[in-house]
Amino acid sequence: MDLAAILTRIGAEMQAAPDRGRVADYIPELARVSPDHFAMAICTAEGETFTTGEAETPFSIQSISKVFTLALALGRLGDQLWTRVGREPSGLAFNSILQLEHENGIPRNPFINAGALVVTDAILAGHKPREVLGELLRFLREAAGEDDIHINRAVAASEQATGHRNLALAHFMAAQGNLLHAPELTCGTYFHQCAIEMSTRQLARAGRFLMNAPGLPRMLGAARVRRINALMMTCGHYDGSGEFAYRVGLPGKSGVGGGILVIAPGRAAIAVWSPGLNAQGNSQLGTLAVERLARATGWSVFG
C-alpha cells in the first residue's frame, strides 16, 4: 500500500474542498485562525512517518489533551477514577450541563468538558497546577519523542477570560461533591492543558502508544490502552461519535482547534488538522480526510 501517494491525494482533495466548516469563535484566540490550514500525518507500526500539508505548524490541541490526561489519571488512580466519571456517550454537546443535575454531578464520560474537568481535578490531588501541567508536557514529549511541545499562554488566557461555561460546570460539580479543588484552580489547569500546541506530525507521534504495537513507546499497559481506545470510539466526538464511528470506523478524539487524533490499532496513529468545524464542534475536513484514508487503506476496527 502506497501510503505516501494516498496522503498526497487526500491532501490535494482537502485543499480544494469548498466547505471547510466554521472556526470555533467562542475562544477569541481560536477565532483568529484561518480555516484554510490543512495537515495530516501517519505514524505506522513499522516506524515510518508520512505527512501532507502543513504538518510542522503547531495548532491548539484543545480537547485532544483529554486523552493524555485520562492516560495520566488511569496510571495514577487506576479504576478508582470511575467512581467520579462514567463511561457512556452523552449524546449532548461537549460543554452541556444538562445531565449533571439528574446524574448526581457524575459526568457521563472523561471526554466531555465536565468529565475532563473531573479527570484534571483528580490528577491535581496533592499537586500544584504547575506540577500537573509539567507532568502532562513530559508525558507528551516522551510519547512523541520530541521536546518542542509547549503551552500557548495567549490561548489559555483567552479561554480563561471567556470560560464561564466551564466554570459553571465545575461549580455545579463542586456543589454536588465531585470536585476536590476550587473551581478556578481546576478550570485554570484545564484551560492550560487545552492550550497545548503541537504540530500534526508531533500529535501523530504522541499517539503511537495508543496503537499497542511492539517496539513503540509504552506509556501504559495494553489493557488500559484498549480501554482508552474504546472510549475514544464511543465518546471521542461527543454527539458526533456515532457518525464518526460509522464513517471512519476507528477510535478518534477531536478538539475545537480542528485537530483529530485517530488510532488504527496495531497499524497506525493518525493526526489531522483543519480548523473549520462541523455542527458538533469536530473538524469538518479532518473527518472527511480520515474517512477517505480509512476507505483507501481498509483500516477499520470492524473488519
Residues contributing to the annotated binding site for substrate: 63, 113, 159, 166, 190, 238, 256
| Binding-site annotation: residue ranges | 63, 113, 159, 166, 190, 238, 256
Nearer to ligand GLN, 207 or 265 (CB): 207
Nearest distance from residue 224's CB to ligand GLN, in Å?
23
Q: Out of 38, 94, 139, 299, name the contact with ligand GLN by CB under 6 A.
A: 94
Q: What angle do CA 205, 21, 61 make, to 5 degrees?
A: 30
Nearest distance from residue 181's CB to ligand GLN, in Å?
17
Of residues 87, 296, 91, 64, the one with CA closest to residue 196: 64
Are residues 237 and 254 in contact, defined by beta-carbon separation less than 8 angstroms? yes
Are residues 19 and 298 in contact, defined by beta-carbon separation less than 8 angstroms? no
Nearer to ligand GLN, 62 or 278 (CB): 62
Of residues 14, 92, 8, 104, the one with CA closest to residue 287: 14
Are residues 253 and 232 in contact, defined by beta-carbon separation less than 8 angstroms? yes
Residue 172 CA neighbour count, 13 Å, CB half: 23
Comparing every residue's Cβ against ligand GLN, the nearest one is 63
Q: Is 63 near ligand GLN (CB under 6 A)?
A: yes
The grid coordinates of residue 241 equal 461519535
- Show Cβ contacts of residue 24 under 8 Å, excluding neighbours closer than 6 positions: 30, 31, 256, 257, 258, 275, 277, 281
Q: Is 162 near ligand GLN (CB under 6 A)?
A: no
Contacts of ligand GLN in 218-277 (CB under 6 A): 255-256
Nearer to ligand GLN, 193 or 212 (CB): 193
Nearer to ligand GLN, 49 or 95 (CB): 95
Compute the distance between CA of residue 144 and CA of residue 133 in angstroms, rounded to an integer. Answer: 16
Of residues 76, 42, 37, the one with CA closest to residue 53: 37
Contacts of ligand GLN in 102-141 (CB under 6 A): 113
Q: Is 62 near ligand GLN (CB under 6 A)?
A: yes
Nearer to ligand GLN, 193 or 199 (CB): 193
Q: Is 52 near ligand GLN (CB under 6 A)?
A: no
Q: Out of 194, 219, 262, 271, name the contact with ligand GLN by CB under 6 A.
A: 194
Of residues 52, 72, 10, 73, the one with CA closest to residue 204: 52
- Residues near ligand GLN (CB under 6 A) are 62-63, 94-95, 113, 159, 166, 194, 255-256, 281
